[in-house]
Amino acid sequence: MAQTEPIRTERRYPAAPLVGVGVVVFNTEGEVLLAQRGRPPRQGEWSLLGGLIDLGETLADAAVREVWEECAIAIEIGGLIAPFEPIVHDDAGRIEYHYVILDYWAKHVRGAAVAQDDADAVAWAAVTALEQFNLRRDTHQMILAGHVLWRASVTESG
């Protein structure tokens, strides 16, 4: 059956959950790349890079594209960390945002990270010094889980 009308994908008050990717990027020193969000939800907060996948785009391609759009660096996807499902309710209890996000870890390949697109700022941070960024608990846990996978890959290739 052919699709005759575009599917509505409103971010606020969506008709269905929106699918996206998050990316935990590590450099050769094991620092993680953080982005300060430039748009709602959670505008101004430090978080992972990522965004919604485009129709016909693979998850891995979306992850590579989102990192490029947000900070102009090339990455190599390492693997899936875990799914994450943020649901944000408004004051009336209605679902204002609902995402299904698949978080990946990746290695920085080339380029100097510079804030672009949806990011107001980007920063490399030591995994042991994340407190200064006031990360959400789930973001911090995803970074730690990704760091374990990154370290295992470095040990295997080392």
Q: Which CATH number does the domain housing residue 83 bear?
A: 3.90.79.10
Range of 24's domain? 18-157
Q: Is 92 part of a structural domain of the chain?
A: yes
Phi, psi of 12 (to 5 degrees): -90, 135
Q: Is 9 part of a structural domain of the chain?
A: no
> What confidence score (pLDDT) does residue 8 get?
53
Secondary structure class of 133 (helix, strand, coil): helix
Q: Is 33 part of a structural domain of the chain?
A: yes
Number of structural domains in the chain: 1
Q: Is 5 part of a structural domain of the chain?
A: no
> What confidence score (pLDDT) does residue 155 get?
87
The DSSP bridge partners found for residue 32 are 26, 125
One pLDDT digit (tens) per residue for the chain, 158 residues: 455 555 556 889 999 999 999 999 999 999 999 999 988 778 899 999 999 999 999 999 999 999 999 999 999 999 999 999 999 999 999 999 999 999 999 999 999 999 997 889 999 999 999 999 999 999 999 999 999 999 999 888 76
